[in-house]
Homo-oligomer: A and B are copies of this chain.
Amino acid sequence: MEQIKELKIKEYQSIPVVVGESDSVYDAISAMFLEDVGTLFVVDESSHLAGVLSRKDLLRASIGNQDLESMPVSIIMTRMPNITVCKKDDLLIEVASHLIERQIDAIPVVNEKENNRYEVVGRVTKTTMTKVLVHLIHSELPQGGKRS
């Protein structure tokens, strides 16, 4: 059980799906269906993290009787600094706690750049945590997990 406490995010993170902050809500919804993810990360022109879009955000916008093709995602996204982020060396269990305590579905894995800006390098979700639980119980931890 001690071993579980040492698992790092980098061993379990998924590939992030990002959209640009000037992309339309319609394009974001299309990306969400195409990539089959529950959360999109929004980046600015210099590819730094600018926001997060959940299915709930997109659903709220889509019932609002507005033109989704002309509405940029920047209007409806959750913005920095109100975004929970994590880093590849963070403990999995701490990030799992953040998902529960803050009632969010996904957290971007970031590299910190100059001026408090973040490059998005991964994605951790409740699906990640459910997979970890299954692996733990089947004693099939990925190689990374066994190392620690």
Name A's B-contacting residues (CB within 8 A).
Answer: 1, 4-5, 26, 29, 32-33, 36, 38, 55-56, 58-60, 62-63, 68, 93, 96-97, 99-100, 103, 105, 125-127, 129-134, 136-139
Contacts and interface: CB of A to CB of B under 8 A. Distances in A.
B100 A131 contact: yes
Q: How many copies does the complex hold?
A: 2
Given A26-B63, A96-B130, A100-B131, A4 B136 contact: yes
A63 B133 contact: no
A interface SS class: helix
A29 B129 CA distance: 27
Contacts of A138: 93
Given A127-B126, A130-B96, A4 B137 contact: yes
A63 B60 contact: no
